[in-house]
Structure 1
Amino acid sequence: MTRRRVVLTADDFGYDRASGELVLELLRERAVTATTVIAASDCLPDLAPGLEAATGAGVGLHVVTNSDAGREPWRALSPEGRAAWHRGARAEAAASSAAFPEDPLDAEARCTPVAAVAEMEAQLARLEELGLHPARMDSHCGTMYGLHGNGFLPEAIGLCARRGMGLRLPRLLEPYLGEVVPDPVRSLHARAVAAATAAGVPLPAAMATSTTPRAELGSYGQLRDEYLGLLTRLPEGTSEVFLHPGADTTWARTRFGADWDKRVWEARLLRDPAWRRALERERIDLVDRW
């Protein structure tokens, strides 16, 4: 079997302080090879020096345009973003402290091309101010991709082309979405891949993660089996497997309860000898970028 390459990514760096510190440990152990960073995170300035020092770690910008339910909201970093995503009837009063909405559908509905470009630029600038230099970009909750009817994928492709960055947009859809892909999604994907290719934006061959909700996962073993199965379906070339490893803390349990189990289990998986053996059995080399 031909050896394949995988960027093994811990998403959501900066989601909370304890999980950020956990990701730094995983990077030092080479249990993951990359992470995507939430520029709007309040704890990022304290975590960034450790990430800057993590030699060989691939760094990506994890663009946020919505806030997760159950946690403190993230806020837009650009004036245009604050104006587009503000809450409340009085734009002038609310825009300076506006939070991103919790609902990704709401976030997409409020997004305009001008606001999208301004917010991506502002989030990228904040990472650079903290000494981080992202090699690629992707989107929290997928709001960039227009799967809910809007999105700002053309603007993201343009920014990546200008900045020489890659984009988490797989050339092959099936490992992520399954064998049955709706025609509108397949058409949107084909146009986006063609545009990114024409612009010289690097793309992964495929991407994969567990999409099963915590409520449908009976145990850690079920999650592990799902990820082991994903490895067998990756194509030749350089793909990405991304997870959301989380620290088991009072903060997380207070806000998310049992829903946090999946993040704790994904952290456990990355240190599981069975996972490491599967990577070797499948002849997969870990790299930090595609």
Structure 2
Amino acid sequence: MTRQLVVTADDLGLDVETNEAIVDLMSDGLVTATTLMTVAPAAADGVERVRAAGLPAPRLHVTLTSAREFRPWRPLAADVPSLTDGDGSFHADPRLFASAVTPEHVLREMTAQLGWMHREGLRPAALDSHSGSLYGARGPALMSTALRFSAEHDLGFRLPRRMPRIADVLWRGRARRRYDEAVAHAASLGVRLPETMVGCWAPGRLLASYAQLRASVLTQLRFLPEGVSELIVHPAPAAAAARLHGGEGRKRLFELRLLRDPAFRRTLRREGIQLVPAW
């Protein structure tokens, strides 16, 4: 076996500047995959840029909540009231989403978002969850819905077979049991999963420096297991990062810098980690 890594830039479609940065990174071979937010304002622009560059289809970044820094986003499906507030927009507060959401409405919206990609001529190989919406709210119900949906459409799903190192230390009790049950459920359905996930898991407000982010990621790469794992980043140029609050914009600038950092490339070579487009 060999150690392989999918380098994924999330949030294609968020805005034009982010789209441009992600497509440039993919064209330069610094990112091997991206995920598309079909409900975000620059989704169509992202699709056009991917096509023009001759790049592989993005994965589906299932988006079920609005972002506070942008005008509210709306679902693509009709009649999904548990996902929306009074004016028909997605909840911006994750707590409101968690208290109201039903699996039936999530399934309806996932179907609509995948259908949007299909109508654009895109056949995503996998899906995942923006802001972790499918992972935490309402216990295992949404996870089970997402895994069955993935199996039905022959899609991989972003759920690591091996828990990331930091989560392995922190997760205990019921959370760990739910995780183990989800991995077993995916295996029973034949849903493809990454081996583990790598990223800078600290919130932007807790990042003191670029060196801290780089050290976190490079250390995780040194312990990467055999198989196909995934590095998750949210690279953004200054114009896009400036729209975000609480240090998240700065973190995205750091992640963009990391991908072009010679130390990152040296670590991949030294560790014998091969970059690949999919898990």
TM-score (normalised: structure 2): 0.94
Task: State which of 238, 245, 253 in structure 1 corresponds to 2:228.
Answer: 238
Change (3 A) 1:254 1:185: closer
1:155 corresponds in structure 2 to: 145
Greater mean alpha carbon deviation, residues 56-65 or residues 39-48 = 56-65
AA partner of residue 91 (structure 2): P
Partner SS, residue 79 of structure 1: coil
> Residue type of the partner of 2:222?
T
Instruction: Give the secondary-structure state (helix, strand or coil) at the position aligned to 2:274.
Output: strand
**Contact 1:109–1:150, Cα closer than 8 Å, also in 2:** no
The residue aligned with 1:30 is 29
Which of 199, 210, 216 is the aligned partner of 2:189?
199
The one-character-per-residue Cα deviations of 1:93-113 (angstroms, maximum 9, x if unpaired) are: x3xxx1111122321222112
Report the more deviating stretch, 122-131 or 240-249: 122-131
| Aligned: 1:209 with 2:207 | no
How far has the Cα of 1:86 moved from its partner?
A: 2.4
Rounded Cα–Cα distance in structure 1 between residues aligned with 2:74 and 2:165: 33
- State the one-letter code of the partner of 1:22: A
Alpha-carbon RMSD: 1.9
The Cα shift of 1:57 comes to 3.5
- The match for 2:78 is 79
Which secondary structure state, in structure 2, belongs to the residue aligned with residue 116 of structure 1?
A: helix
The one-letter code sitting in structure 2 at the alignment partner of 1:40 is V
Q: Using the TM superposition, give the Cα deviation of residue 181 of structure 1 relative to its aligned residue in structure 2, in angstroms.
A: 1.6
Give the counterpart letter for 1:211 in structure 2: W
CA contact (8 A) 2:12 2:35 kept: yes
Query: Does the aligned pair in 1 maintain the 2:50–2:57 contact within 8 Å?
Result: no
Cα deviation digits, residues 154-198 of structure 1 (max 9, x gap): 111111111111000111113351423222111111111111111
Q: 1:205 to 1:54 in 2, by over 3 A?
A: farther
Q: Shift of residue 133 of structure 1?
A: 1.4
Query: Residue 255 of structure 1: CA displacement?
Result: 4.7
Aligned to 1:264: 253
Moved more, 141-150 or 265-274: 141-150
- Please report how far the alpha carbon of residue 5 of structure 1 lies from its aligned counterpart in structure 2 after TM superposition: 0.4
Residues 58, 210 of structure 1: alpha-carbon distance in 2 compared, 3 angstrom cutoff:
farther
Q: Does 1:52 align with 2:78?
A: no
Alignment gaps of 5+ in structure 2: none
Amino acid at match of 2:103: P
| Cα contact 1:6–1:241 (8 A) shared by 2 | yes
Residue of structure 2 equivalent to 1:111? 101
Separation in 2, partners of 1:282, 1:153: 33
- The 5 A counterparts of 1:89-104 are 94=87, 98-104=88-94
- One-letter code of the match for 2:85? R
Shift of 1:131: 2.3
Once residues 273 and 186 of structure 1 are traced to their aligned partners in structure 2, the CA distance between those partners, rounded to angstroms, is 36
Offset of residue 150 of structure 1: 6.4
Residue 157 of structure 2 is matched in structure 1 by 167
Q: For residues 72 and 140 of structure 2, what CA distance do their matches in structure 1 show?
A: 22
State the number of aligned residues. 279
Q: Can you list the C-alpha shifts for 1:44-97, whole angstroms capped at 9, x where unaligned?
A: 11220221354463621111111122222221111133x222223xxxxx3xxx
Whole-angstrom distance in 1 between the partners of 2:7 and 2:243: 29
Aligned partner letter, 1:84: S
Bigger mean CA offset, 143-152 vs 228-237: 143-152
Distance verdict in 2 for CA 1:170–1:25, change over 3 Å: same
Rounded to whole Å, the distance in 1 between the matches of 2:260 and 2:188 is 39
2: CA distance, partners of 1:57 / 1:226? 29
Aligned to 2:60: 61
**Paired residues of 1:13 and 1:38 also in contact (CA < 8 A):** yes
